[in-house]
Every structure is written in structure tokens, then in C-alpha cells.
Amino acid sequence: MVEIRFHGRGGQGTVIASKILADAVSKEDKYVQAFPQFGVERRGAPVFAFIRIDDQPIYVRSKIIAPDHIIVVDPSLIDAIDVTEGLKKGAKILINTGHKPKDFKHLGKKFHIYTIDANEIAIKYKLGSKAAPIVNTAILGAVPRIFDFVQLESILQAVRDGVPVNPDDNAAAAKEAYESVKGV
Amino acid sequence: MKKVMMGNHAISHGATLSRVQVIAAYPITPQTQVVELLSEIVADQKLKAEFIKVESEHSAMAACIGASSAGARAFTATSAQGLALMHELLHWAAGARLPIVMADINRAMAPPWTIWTDQNDSLSQRDTGWMQFYCQSNQEVLDSVIMAYKVAEKVLMPVMIVLDAFSLSHTYEIVDLPDQALVDTYLPPFDYKYKLNVNDPHTYGGLTTPDWYMEFRVKMQEAMEQALGIIKKEAVEFEKTFGRRYDPVEPYMVDDADIVLVTSGTAASTARFAVDQMRKKGKKVGNLRMRLLRPFPFADVREHLKNARKVVIVDRNISYGYHGIWAQEVKSALYGHSKVPVFNFIAGLGGRDIFPETYIDIVNQVKKMKKPDQELYWVEVKR
């Protein structure tokens, strides 16, 4: 079983990203469970989402406190909270940023850092506004490049099915993200 | 068709596939998406139903009672204070023998104000005459709505589908949406023998003197006893049609277990996971998941607990001044049939998480005791 925690801020589509990833995984004969931090979300406040993926039915239903990997949708959270809390040794950390993986060495030697500039890609494809780009579909494109539990094709299909507008632009953003992950 | 969906939407799809004819509901966190999706489905004319907006949960149940009396398949959903506000009419729906189905998303009762899960809302309605089915997955939620109408309409008693706030209601997982044609073969249209008819007027529920009131109650009890057999039969029928089975209780590795956990809701699902972990370390632990509260499956509980050396009921609820409510039910079933020591742990109130480690700690604690030295044990509380 793989357990992943998403870090974002309220209004960035973090929970939707976990749902679309669950959709993608479901296309590959796997079991999946995605859930938000159970609470009252406010725009701009730190939010969490969680996903479990397994080849077997998933019975455990408590919160994930020791994730295998994390995905950081909003890099400003790295200075605000401890995103690596409970994170397992050998974990992969995917960060949405224009910086390079080596710029995040301070997160610890026991983790592998990958970066993707999802903001730049989202702005290029006009997803959301320049001030508040919608980055979740671009970030999802980076996921199959780093992890082996899901294929790019499944992500692209889930993105097309899961966004309310501009399915082709969102899928193109995901594909571009797949090709431009740093740290691989 | 397999689809990733939240538990709340699994309820909406279950109601839609059951071709409900009247929906009356008032929104409350964490139930809101149930009626949001249903209102969209009705507005898009994908379901031919009357969607009645009401000013309170009391009115929602009143509207369901009216609709059901007229022979319509009626549905509502609520949580916590909303369910409590319905209380008077829950008795009325059951006493009037109306096969209404409702989903209750378990939310702890206020004050202090809360939106997270525990079972005190639904368990407080234990004696209203509603059947109660406790679910552990979104698939079970969807399937249970369909099965509930089948059972309810056979015995003319209402059913409450119960699921945890957030850990099911807002959790996305894969649900197999059955074909409408298949559901139609399993669940025929509701044909209510006693429906209100202007050409043949009757009065129901009028003043009944002590000469006859008790006979009505005997019939309700008999209907509930009959319901247990029907639920067991429908578990088989449902499996034949849809390939999934839901029995009144779900035993997991209980036959050779020294310690059997008794659990319900999503906490039962996590308990099963914890049992696997403990078994890997050679600990003989099993889990009995309670799906049915009413009608209560006495014989099944006795059967599956007969080999246990210790029974440990983990309750996500409490009857103040007593102990956990499932513990009360299970002890009552065992009384006079078994001398097994019964331990009661209270955990996870107000949405506090119940982890696999929670069960492992409980089992380790119980291992050290021959029999309980307290009526209840609190799990992980600050003092």
C-alpha cells in the first residue's frame, strides 16, 4: 500500500487533485481511497488531502500520519509548517516550484526531492488567472513520472473527465508537466 | 460501471437507482452533498421525483410521512441535531408502518459544537421502531439504500442507513454503480396496500384506547422479528443479483480467536486491518462487525462469539451513566448463553481517529486482565 499526503492552501484545488488522482488510479485495476483533512476549510489556510493506493481492498480508514510520500502544491507552506511531519525515510517529495530540487536540501537527506513549475505551466495554458493559477492538473502530470502506481494515460483521461472546463488545455498542461519534472 | 465517488454521492445514487418518488430534506454538514446531487438529478429530469424543500428536518420527515402514506417511495437524509429534531416523527413513521428510507451521516451531538463523527445521534433513536444498518464502505452505502427499500416495503417498517461523517461521507473510493435494469429486477415499484385514496377514505393513527393500543405494538415487534429473516434472505438474493453480500453481522477470523473485537461503522473496517496486523505477529484476534442494530441479530452474535475467551466491544458512543451502547446490546445477547468476560472500550468520540494501533493497544491491555475491573475503559483521553 502507498500512502501520500498532499499539502496545499484552501482554494487551490488540492482536494480535487487527490480525487482526480483517485480517478486515474481506478482505471488501472487498483484499489484507492482519497479523503480531505476532515474539517472546516478556509481559503488560503493550509489544507491537507490524503490518498491510499493498493492492489488489495483497503480496510484501514484512519488518517494517514506516516505518509510514504508528499506532494506540496504550495511551496510557501515549506516555511510555514513542517511538511515532512511523520514522513517515512526514502520518501519522494514533489514540490510545485520554479526552484531546483537541490534548493530544498534542508528538508533532509533521507528524502528524494522533485520539482515542477506548475504555476508557469498553468499560466501558459491559461488555467485560472495569472494571480491565482489553477495548478492541480499540471501537478498531477508529474505524478506518473515519479511514481509507478499510475500511468500518464490514466492521468490524462482522469484530468479530461474531472475538470469542469478546458479539458484539452488541462490535459496538455499535465503532459507538459510530465515532461519537465526536475530531479528524475 | 465503476466510478470513484464520495460516500454522500453513493447515497444519492442509491436513492436514484431505487427510483425514489419524493425527496424532502434540509441541508446539514456533513450530509449536504447527498441532497445537492439529488436536487441536480431531479432538476435534470434524470429521476422522476418530487423534490420538496422544507424549513426543518421535522418538516422533512413530515413530508416523507405524507408521501409514503400516499404510496410514494420517500427518501431523506440528515445528521446529528437534524436527526434529533426529527425524533417525534421517527416514532410516527414507524408506528404508521411507513417504509421510508433515510440516511443518517453519524455526526456527534452538540454542545460543544462539532461536525465530526460518532454514533450517539443514530443510537439515540434506537427505540423509535426504525431498522438501522451501519455501513463500512461507500459500496455498502449505495447497496444498502437499494436493499433497505426491499426490506422496508416487505415488512412496512422504516430503515435508517448509517455511515460515519467524513471517513465515509467525504471519502472518495471506487463504487460499482449497478445497472438500472438490474436494480429494477431486484426492487419492483412500491405498491402500498394501505395508501390514502380519496375514493375510499380511511383514517389512520387515530385515538386508540388501551383495549387495542398494545396489539399495534405486538404487530410492530412481529414485523421487526420477521424483518431479520427477510434481511438474511435478501443478503442471498442481493448477492445473486449484484455479486455482493451483506449479512446482519460480519465475522472476520473469529473462529479460533482468543480475543474477539466487536465493532461497527468505519471503525470496524480499521479493526479488520488491525486484526491482519496482529495475526501476522501470531496473536489470535478476530473482529465481529455489527451491521444491524435493529432488528438485533441475537443468534448471529451468540454464534460468532461462542469460541471467544474474551469479548472486547469498542463503542464510538456512550450512554452517560451506563457504558457503550453496542456493549449493552451484545451483553444482553450473551446473558444466560455465555460466561465469556466482556470488556467495553469507548473510543473515537467527536471524530477522534481510531487507528489500527488503537486496537493493538486495546488488545494488549485486555491480554493482561482476566476479567474487566471497570464497566468501561476510555481510550486515549486527556485527564
CATH of the domain at B122: 3.40.50.970
Indicate if B72 and B48 belong to the same structural domain: yes
CA-CA distance, B128 to B90, in Å (whole number)? 6
What is the average pLDDT value for chain B, to the nearest integer?
Answer: 98
Q: Of A22, A62, A65, which has the smallest distance from its Cβ to B172's Cβ?
A: A22
Decide which of A39 and A73 is more confident: A73
A53 three-state secondary structure: strand
Beta bridge partners of B23: B51, B75
**Count of structural domains within chain B:** 2
* A62 within some domain: yes
Range of the domain at B39: 2-242
Q: What average pLDDT score do residues B354-360 get?
A: 98
Q: How many CB atoms lie within 10 A of CB B160?
A: 24
User: Which residues have a Cβ under 8 Å from the Cβ of B373 and sit 6 or more positions away?
Assistant: none
Range of the domain at A147: 2-179
The distance in angstroms from the start CA to the end CA of chain A is 23
Which amino acid is present at B124?
Answer: S
CB contacts under 8 A, B 185-204 vs A, are none
Q: What is the pTM of this model?
A: 0.97
Looking at B180, B212, B242, the residue that finishes a domain is B242
Instruction: Name the helix (H) or strand (E) containing B196.
Output: none
Indicate if B226 and B306 belong to the same structural domain: no
- Which one, of B328, B332, B310, lies nearest residue B319 by Cα? B328
pLDDT of B180 reads 98
Looking at B191, B207, B242, the residue that finishes a domain is B242
Indicate if B49 and B188 belong to the same structural domain: yes
* A38 within some domain: yes
Predicted ipTM? 0.95
Q: Determine contact, residues B255/B306, Cβ cutoff 8 Å.
A: no
Indicate if B237 and B255 belong to the same structural domain: no
Q: Encode pLDDT of B257-297 as tens digits.
A: 999 999 999 999 999 999 999 999 999 999 999 999 999 99
* B383 within some domain: no
Please tell me the distance in Å from B187's CA to the nearest CA on chain A: 28
* A184 within some domain: no
User: Which residues have a Cβ under 8 Å from the Cβ of B206 and sit 6 or more positions away?
Assistant: none
Q: How many CB atoms lie within 10 A of CB B314?
A: 27
Q: What average pLDDT score do residues B163-171 get?
A: 97
Query: How would you classify the pairing of strands B259-263 and B249-252?
Result: unpaired
- Our CA dihedral for B7, B12, B18, B20, rounded to 10 degrees, sits at 150
Q: What is the CATH number of the domain that holds B278?
A: 3.40.50.920
| DSSP characters over B60-123 | HHHHHHHHHHTT--EEEEE-HHHHHHTHHHHHHHHHTT---EEEEEE-PPSSSP--S--THHHH
User: C-alpha angle with apex B52: B49 to B55, nearest 5 degrees?
Assistant: 165
* B166 within some domain: yes
Classify each residue of B126-146 as buried b or exposed e, where b means 16 or more C-beta atoms within 10 Å of its C-beta. Answer: bebbbbbbbbbbbbbbbbbbb
Q: What is the CATH number of the domain that holds A152?
A: 3.40.920.10
* B317 within some domain: yes
Looking at B206, B223, B242, the residue that finishes a domain is B242
CB contacts under 8 A, A 2-31 vs B, are 18-19, 22-23, 26, 31
- Which one, of B34, B83, B44, lies nearest residue B61 by Cα? B83
Indicate if B31 and B113 belong to the same structural domain: yes
* A150 within some domain: yes
pLDDT of A44 reads 85
Chain B nearest-CA residue for A59: B269
Answer whether B353 sits within 8 Å of A22, measured CB to CB: no
